[in-house]
Amino acid sequence: MSEKLIHDIVIIGGGPGGMTAALYGGRAELDTLILEKNFHGGQMVSTNEIENYPALPDTNGIELSNTMLEHAKKFGAKIDYKGVDSIEIMEDGVKKLICGSDEIFTKTVILSMGSTPRKLNLDKEDKLAGRGIGYCAICDGGFYKNKVVAVNGGGDTAVEDALYLSRLASKVYLIHRRDELRANKTLQTRLFDSGVEVVWNSTIKEIKGEDKVQSIITVDKTDNSEREIEIDGLFIAIGGIPQSDLVNDLVELNKQGYIVTDEDCKTNIPGIYAVGDIRVKSLRQVITAAADGAIAVHAAEKYILENH
Ligand code: NAP
């Protein structure tokens, strides 16, 4: 019987943290495999302009994703487009990953599953998803040329989405629940110069429309007044939910479901690391995810030397 293949590093999730880990793993001549259930790049793919990644003043999410993957592959890392159903730790410390009918064995695991967009959980939100309701302005914004759209949220994503849409749509509303934005100041300055109408202190109470979105009802929390805004599309950009279900019985999570790590990206389980948006951290950006990837591999390499 042939001996089973044991990888050095398996990275679950191919966002910027995972792909940087793959680059560092490959370059350290470790047998490195990324498992990605959708597309490589993660949430970065739905970012139009990326202008805060050093030395690349003018790139975009798709371009940076493809370049990162090619860079990792150049050093021998591999990618397999499949999801992981469960992780088991064997007696010798090797980790067994179940992927459908496949079993994958590895000395270390780097968790890089990122986060997915949070929903408003309003009636009709699911029914009208793809029929006026969207979570990715870069993906679906093209449908709203010369139409009226709203974006909900006050962070970097919402403001970037509103700016992107303002170049296509005839009118853009940004609906935010407070009287100041969370987004960085550069984006705020651009927003205030863009013609986007900000609806302050307001939440969305109702989405109207049967086969497609027709309007939303907002409530201004300063006086409880309601406003009906007719729109063709609504983009919801109110943050993310960490995709940590796979490991909620395996590693320590905080109350919001983010993975707790130390500064070397180590979880509480030896040989398991977490990088990027899925871990507890103060700044979730491409650059900080990429840095995590490098740090986690450095720790994983040491663990492999000492334990396998
Ligand atoms: P975020 O920073 O968590 O902001 C979420 C926004 O949605 C906040 O303004 C929040 O309001 C609002 N919100 C949350 N729950 C809500 C609800 N139930 N109803 C209404 N509003 C709600 O999320 P993000 O903008 O997606 O950004 C995520 C991370 O990615 C951040 O670290 C961000 O810096 C980073 N990012 C960076 C860039 C860039 O640098 N180019 C681009 C995109 C994202 P409050 O402000 O009142 O809490």
H helices, E strands: number in the chain: 6, 19
Which pLDDT tens digit goes with each residue over 244-298? 999 999 999 999 999 999 999 999 999 999 999 999 998 888 999 999 999 999 9
For residue 25, give the 3-state DSSP assignment.
helix
Q: Enumerate the CATH 3.50.50.60 domain ranges in the chain, comma separated.
A: 6-116+240-307, 119-236
205 lines ligand 1 (CB under 6 A): no
Q: Is 265 a catalytic residue?
A: no
Lowest model confidence (mean pLDDT) among 12-16, 140-144, 207-211: 140-144
Q: Once rounded to an integer, what is the mean pLDDT over residues 224-236?
A: 98
Q: Is 102 a catalytic residue?
A: no
Q: What is the CATH number of domain 119-236?
A: 3.50.50.60
Tell me the best of 53, 118, 156, 163 to mutate to test the pocket of ligand 1, counting ligand atoms within 8 Å of each CB and taking the most. Answer: 156
Give the atom of ligand 1 at the shortest distance from the alpha carbon of 176.
Answer: 21
203 lines ligand 1 (CB under 6 A): yes
Q: Once rounded to an integer, what is the mean pLDDT over residues 138-157?
A: 93
What is residue 1's predicted lDDT score, i.e. its pLDDT? 53
DSSP secondary-structure letter at 258? Answer: P
Helix axes 16-27, 61-74, angle to 10 degrees: 20
Say whether domain 6-116+240-307 belongs to CATH 3.50.50.60. Answer: yes
What is residue 213's predicted lDDT score, i.e. its pLDDT? 97
Which pLDDT tens digit goes with each residue over 154-209? 999 999 999 999 999 999 999 999 999 999 999 999 999 999 999 999 999 999 99
Q: Is 140 a catalytic residue?
A: yes
DSSP symbols for 153-221: --SHHHHHHHHHHHTTSSEEEEE-SSSS--S-HHHHHHHHTTTPEEETTEEEEEEE-SSS--EEEEEET
Tell me the best of 177, 198, 282 to mutate to test the pocket of ligand 1, counting ligand atoms within 8 Å of each CB and taking the most. Answer: 177
Kindly report the average pLDDT of the chain as a whole number: 96
What is residue 149's predicted lDDT score, i.e. its pLDDT? 98
With beta carbons less than 8 A apart as the criterion, state whether 192 and 200 touch: no
pTM: 0.84
